[in-house]
Amino acid sequence: MRVLQVLNSLTFRFIARYVIVLVSAVFAVMLLLFAYLSYGYFRELGDGIREELDTLEVVYRGQSLPGVQRYLRDQQSAPTGAHFSYLLTDARGAKLAGDLPRVPRYRELSGGWLAFQRALWFEGKSPDVDFLARSRDFGDGTRALVAYNFADAAQSGGMVFGTLVRAMVATLILGIIGGFFSASFAQRRLEEFSHRLSRIVRENVAERMPVEGEEGHLRELSLVTNSMLDQMSMLMQGIKQVSDNIAHDLRTPLTRIRNKLNQLRANLEPGGQEAVDRIIEDCDDLLSSFNALLRISALESGSRATADQALDLAVLLGDVVELYEPLANDKDIALRLEAPASCAVRGDSDLLFQLFANLVDNAIKYTPRGGEIAVALEGAGDSGARVEVRDSGPGIPAADRKNAFRRFYRLEASRGKEPGHGLGLALVQAIVQHHRGEVSLGDNRPGLRVRVELP
Amino acid sequence: MKVLLVEDDRSVGEYIAGELDAAGYDCALVADGETGLRRAREGGFDVLVVDRMLPELDGLAIVQALREAGDSTPVLVLSALGEVDDRVQGLHRGADDYLTKPFSMAELQARLEVLHRRAGSSGDAPTRLQVGDLEMDLLSQEVRRRDTRINLQPREYKLLEYLMRHAGQVVTRAMLLEHVWGYHFDPQTNVIDVHVSRLRQKIDRDFDAQLLSTVRGAGYRLGGD
């Protein structure tokens, strides 16, 4: 999986392409050089054969056959120099002189060149001894054939060529392997980068990408990303600030309207009083939304100084359950507390009470008549605790659970049906995070399970 | 009732003073801490309402200065922030009550009445409470109405005790949460109403005269005025 990922990575593809192009280029240059050297070799060889034929013709014309025979003997016994093979035949093709036994079966190449293989008549020898030859008629039917064995040259040429190919293949493989490792290194860096970034976006938008120790593009990318995150936080902050300001600024006039209405209702007929009572209730709902919103903001920004006292969570949960028990009872809901005798945690008792009151309140709101709600507390060793509030209501679909903690988020299903301002869970989360705890939603099969973990 | 209001925000101060005057209180408004402390020391006020944040001398400092001088005039501190720690600190430093802005005038009035009444009743701890024909024996924890004994759950007992101690006064839901349950929080639903209606069932159902009444827009009141 990981290998595939690296192979598919941009870096690897760049490096592989580069290595292939480089190796091909080097191979082409080498091939050109090889062709040039081979051409030079064969031209020299051809010139040598032609000169030899010229010499033979001159000797034949001057000294006839015995001169040629003498010349050939001299050539054979010469200790150095290129060793040509010779054959002199008469008009009928019979051998007159030379070291080749008879006229070979040859292939005709362009430009009067002949090629043959010696093994065709020397039995038992390796068949790939190649000769390049040229023959000439001396005018009276006598033909001279001068051949040169270029097998060695061909062999070393082949070896050079083979080595070249192997070297190229090795370069290619090494390049690809090197490319794989650099790509996997680059890939790992990028993965680290993206992991970190997604964690920042998911968990803590206040965190930033590290710039120290980074180099080059990654450093630049980190810097750009950080400034992007800064802007994002600023915008988010701005939106929160605006909504906070609206809530804050509307609270005072709203309170005054409420006060005035309360005074006015005394002078009204009973029918009018009821209408005013409903308006006052609406005012109270709005005020409670605004207050919840401002409390969430204060908790999130950390500007709210809170108490950090030792308290017994078992007692606190007992109080919550006791407070909500009559409400649950009215809906025929069994509200149970499962808790040890005591469970010490540190925190702000008012905030924690608010937290669990919200959860139990929600549970009662969404659990149908005759349902069940359990508040379960488990102490976790020396410090910390886990509380689960489980209900038998409709629950929250897995896809919506992440959003459920957003401010003003309400499930489509409950929108308009149940009272509430969609801030209950947002406040829960703000309080839990303020206590450095964690809150998660799960499935109670059926129903919702809210788990709160406090350190 | 004479109230001294120390509030630096002119519009808020004038609004509260105006509302209190309209409700029959005698309210003096002062805009800074120094003057506030001087006026408070001159005496003659039943209750002081002091803003938490004031230029130069803040609300808590005024309370502390008064208490150190042996002045026990009840003080209600107003806070714009409603920070719990602030609240705890305020009560610790001698304030008698704490209210978060903005508040309904009904809430402020209910609390002022309670503070005023508490200051009036001298320190003797009663062993019996009585409202109309409803009696509570604080020692045996027995509750009777006429000759019928009423069985109450512990929390119902505490609720009734608080209501009886403040008989004739308006008691708000926030006050009940703070004093009967001991938590300062904002319930999403009127969970208190359910408790009160249970209590009402027990003390009022079988009797002609209804003792526990709901005060719309404010809270509850036990007994007549």
Contact A350 B185 (CB under 8 A): yes
Mean pLDDT to the nearest integer, B94-115: 87
* Nearest-neighbour CA in chain B from A369: distance (Å): 17
**B183 and A CB contact within 8 Å:** yes
- Cα(A106)–Cα(A97) distance, rounded to whole angstroms? 19
Contact A265 B216 (CB under 8 A): yes
Contact B183 A319 (CB under 8 A): yes
Q: Which residues of A touch B184 (CB under 8 A)?
A: 350
**A159 and B CB contact within 8 Å:** no
Contact B181 A351 (CB under 8 A): no
**A291 and B CB contact within 8 Å:** yes
Q: Which residue has the higher pLDDT, B26 or A4?
A: B26
Facing residue for A323 by CB, picked from B15, B82, B181? B181
Q: Where are the domains of chain A?
A: 2-156, 216-301, 309-454
CATH number of A216-301: 1.10.287.130
Q: Look at residue A120 in the predicted model and tell me its pLDDT.
A: 42
Q: Give the chain A residue nearest B198 (alpha carbons).
A: A326
- Cα(B172)–Cα(B205) distance, rounded to whole angstroms? 22
Question: What CATH class does A2-156 carry?
Answer: alpha beta
DSSP string, A283-350: HHHHHHHHHHHHHHHHHHHT-S----EEEEHHHHHHHHHHHHHHHHHHTT-EEEEE--S--EEEE-HH
Q: Give the chain A residue nearest B19 (alpha carbons).
A: A259
**A349 and B CB contact within 8 Å:** yes
- Residue to test with chain A: of B99, B103, B185, B214, most A Cβ within 10 A: B185
Query: Which pLDDT band holds residue B190 (cuts at 50, 70, 90)?
Result: confident
Q: Look at residue A126 in the predicted model and tell me its pLDDT.
A: 47
Facing residue for A304 by CB, picked from B83, B106, B186? B83
Q: Which residues of A touch B216 (CB under 8 A)?
A: 262, 265, 273, 277, 280
**B202 and A CB contact within 8 Å:** no
> Which residues, 6 or more positions from A100, have their beta carbon under 8 angstroms from its beta carbon?
A85, A86, A87, A145, A147
- Cα(A110)–Cα(A270) distance, rounded to whole angstroms? 125
* Nearest-neighbour CA in chain A from B174: distance (Å): 12
Q: Which residues of B touch A326 (CB under 8 A)?
A: 191, 194-195, 198
- Residue to test with chain A: of B99, B108, B179, B183, most A Cβ within 10 A: B183
**B162 and A CB contact within 8 Å:** no
CB atoms within 10 A of CB B203: 23
Q: Look at residue A81 in the predicted model and tell me its pLDDT.
A: 57
**Cross-sheet strand order for the sheet of A84-89:** A95-98, A84-89, A143-149, A130-137, A114-117, A107-108
- CATH fold of A309-454, please? Heat Shock Protein 90 (3.30.565)
Is the distance from CB of B202 to CB of B144 less than 8 angstroms?
no
**B24 and A CB contact within 8 Å:** no
Contact B83 A420 (CB under 8 A): no
Q: Of the candidates A226, A212, A220, A180, which has an alpha carbon nearest to the alpha carbon of residue A9?
A: A180
CB atoms within 10 A of CB A246: 12
- The backbone region for A408, taken as left when phi is positive above 0, alpha when psi lies in -120 to 50, beta otherwise, is left
First to last CA, chain A: 38
- CATH fold of B2-120, please? Rossmann fold (3.40.50)
CATH number of B128-222: 1.10.10.10
Contact A259 B106 (CB under 8 A): yes
Q: Where are the domains of chain B?
A: 2-120, 128-222
Q: Look at residue A414 in the predicted model and tell me its pLDDT.
A: 59
Q: Look at residue B206 in the predicted model and tell me its pLDDT.
A: 82
Contact A351 B84 (CB under 8 A): yes
Q: Look at residue A413 in the predicted model and tell me its pLDDT.
A: 59
Is the distance from CB of B61 to CB of B38 less than 8 angstroms?
no
- Cα(B225)–Cα(B208) distance, rounded to whole angstroms? 18
**B18 and A CB contact within 8 Å:** no
Q: How far is CA A8 from the centre of its chain?
A: 8
Facing residue for B187 by CB, picked from A259, A349, A357? A357
Q: Which residues of A touch B198 (CB under 8 A)?
A: 326
Contact B182 A265 (CB under 8 A): no
Q: Which of residues 51-90 of B touch A (CB under 8 A)?
A: 81-86, 88
- Cα(A222)–Cα(A227) distance, rounded to whole angstroms? 9
Q: Of the candidates B113, B210, B214, B204, which has an alpha carbon nearest to the alpha carbon of residue B156?
A: B204
DSSP state letter for A132: E
* Nearest-neighbour CA in chain B from A330: distance (Å): 9
At which residue do the structure tokens 């209210």 appear?
A: B99
Q: From the CA atom positions of chain A, what is the Rg in Å?
A: 49
> Please, which residues bridge with residue A87 across strands?
A98, A145
Strand, coil or helix: what is A193?
helix
pTM greater than 0.80: no
Mark A415-434 as b/e (b = at least 16 C-beta within 10 Å).
Answer: eeeeebbbbbbbbbbbbbeb
- Cα(A190)–Cα(A221) distance, rounded to whole angstroms? 10
Q: Of the candidates B209, B192, B211, B194, which has an alpha carbon nearest to the alpha carbon of residue B136?
A: B211
Is the distance from CB of A354 to CB of A425 less than 8 angstroms?
no
> Which residues, 6 or more positions from B70, have their beta carbon under 8 angstroms from its beta carbon?
none
Contact A350 B183 (CB under 8 A): yes
Q: What is the ipTM of this complex?
A: 0.85
What is the full per-residue pLDDT of chain A (455 aa) written as tens digits? 677 877 788 878 888 888 889 889 988 998 898 889 888 888 888 888 888 888 888 888 888 888 888 888 887 777 665 568 888 888 887 888 877 777 777 777 777 777 776 544 444 444 455 777 888 888 778 888 888 877 667 777 778 888 888 888 888 888 888 888 888 888 888 888 888 888 887 777 778 888 877 777 788 888 888 898 889 888 888 887 888 788 778 888 888 888 888 888 878 888 888 888 888 888 888 888 888 888 888 888 776 666 678 889 999 999 999 999 999 999 999 999 998 888 888 888 888 999 999 999 999 988 999 999 999 998 766 667 899 999 998 888 888 888 888 887 776 655 555 666 778 888 999 999 888 888 999 888 888 999 999 88
**A353 and B CB contact within 8 Å:** yes
Q: Of the candidates B13, B17, B55, B52, which has an alpha carbon nearest to the alpha carbon of residue B33?
A: B55
Helix (H) / strand (E) element for B50: namely: strand B47-51
For residue A446, whether the previous peptide bond is cis, meaning omega lies within 30 degrees of 0, is yes
Quote the crossing angle between the two packed helices A216-265 and B105-120, to the nearest 10°: 70
Q: Look at residue A121 in the predicted model and tell me its pLDDT.
A: 43
Q: Which residues of A touch B186 (CB under 8 A)?
A: 288, 291-292, 295, 354
Q: Which of residues 408-427 of A touch B (CB under 8 A)?
A: 419-420, 424
Contact A259 B184 (CB under 8 A): no
Q: Which residue has the higher pLDDT, B157 or A294?
A: B157
* Nearest-neighbour CA in chain A from B183: distance (Å): 5
**B207 and A CB contact within 8 Å:** no
Is the distance from CB of A143 to CB of A161 less than 8 angstroms?
no
- Residue to test with chain A: of B173, B183, B188, B189, most A Cβ within 10 A: B188
